[in-house]
Amino acid sequence: MEMDRAMRHEVVYAIVQFRPYRETEEFANVGVVMCAPKAGFFDYRIETKTFSRVTKFFDQLDFRLPRMVTGFVVDELQRVKEMAHCIGEPEAAFRLFHQATKAKEGLIYFSQVKPALVDGDLAQYLDELYQHHVHHSFAKQPSATERLEVTMRNLLEQHDLRKHYQLRNLEDGLGLVKARVPFTHQKDDNTMKAIRPLSLAFSTPHKIVEDAEQWAARFKRLFKAGILIPENVIMPIEQPQDCDDKTISLAVNMANTIFKNNKVTAIPANDEDRILTFAAQI
């Protein structure tokens, strides 16, 4: 079922909990299951690779057990997901979700089901729930780029442009490239505009160059796949404070060359007039 990303969705979700010792009722969150019945959406995110946090907490446990158990959970939820996609009736999808997340005996439990209202991309909201409950993103300090995104969001809101832009994960059909772009404008399911703020305010030259290379390469692949065109992309760049340092200045110049060679338009993050002019041309 095709979803309108601009509409508000009613969703329900449950946290997947690994609980090896029923006697103590201690658990570790290892995933999230979410359903938006009216939108025909059912999906999940389960940790299947990194369990150092879990094995450190349950230090007497066989380290292979969490990976094995979550593998079984993925198999089961994938089966349910395929069933859900064949169901056109919202009430039936809702019942299927509750059946999949009801209390179970064994090492895996599900939390109480919680409701939410979601504006925009359901998969992105599921990713955020997963990062929050499993990887504790709330405990992490925002990066310089994340702070720059907040500044950019406020700028667009002040000029009544924020409503035209949504966060999206842009990727090609083969899964060869995936880029998180916080401000994209779409029309007829095609991405027409993209604004990707990036902070290069690092004290080490190699980090400046590495981040520039990483994002230039991502956009190059998106351009090649026809997902974006260079004229419709800008990257507001926050420069390092210590640009008088010779090596930092050299790294910044190298970063600018990298962007230019890959047809990525990099502009100063404080050039509000240019950013707003670009954002308003929709």
Q: Which span out of 52-61, 62-71, 102-111, 178-187 was modeled with the highest average pLDDT?
A: 178-187
Average pLDDT of the segment spanning 43-55: 85
Long-range contacts of 218-222 (CB under 8 A, 24+ apart): 218/177, 218/179, 219/179, 219/262, 219/263, 219/264, 220/262, 220/263, 220/264, 221/172, 221/176, 221/177, 222/170, 222/172, 222/177, 222/179
Look at 2-16, 79-93, 216-230, 253-267 and tell me which has the smallest mean pLDDT.
2-16
The pLDDT, as a whole number, for residue 2 is 41
Render pLDDT for 197-211 as a digit per residue (tens, 0 to 9): 999 999 889 999 999
Contact 77, 100 (CB under 8 A): yes
Residue 114 structure tokens: 């919680």
Please identify which residue in the block is written with the tokens 């200045």: 249
* Domains, the chain, ordered by start: 8-139 (no CATH), 144-280 (3.40.1350)
- Give the whole-angstrom CA distance, residue 279 versus residue 195: 8
Band of the pLDDT at 135, cuts 50, 70, 90?
Answer: confident
Among 121, 117, 116, which Cα is nearest to 5's?
121
The pLDDT, as a whole number, for residue 190 is 82
Among 228, 200, 217, which Cα is nearest to 258's?
217
Average pLDDT of the segment spanning 81-90: 87
Please identify which residue in the block is written with the tokens 């703020």: 197
Facing residues of 178 across strands? 171
Average pLDDT of the segment spanning 165-170: 91
N- to C-terminal Cα separation, the chain: 27
Render pLDDT for 97-133 as a digit per residue (tens, 0 to 9): 999 998 666 789 999 999 999 887 899 899 999 999 9
Max Cα distance, the chain (Å)? 64
- Give the whole-angstrom CA distance, residue 31 versus residue 33: 7
Please identify which residue in the block is written with the tokens 């505009």: 193
The pLDDT, as a whole number, for residue 81 is 93
51 or 93: which carries more pLDDT confidence? 93
pTM of the entire predicted model: 0.56
Q: Residue-wise over 230-252: b if at least 16 C-beta within 10 A, else e?
A: eebbbbbbbbbeeeeeeebeebb
The pLDDT, as a whole number, for residue 11 is 95
Render pLDDT for 90-103 as a digit per residue (tens, 0 to 9): 899 999 999 999 86
Average pLDDT of the segment spanning 247-252: 94
Average pLDDT of the segment spanning 130-155: 86
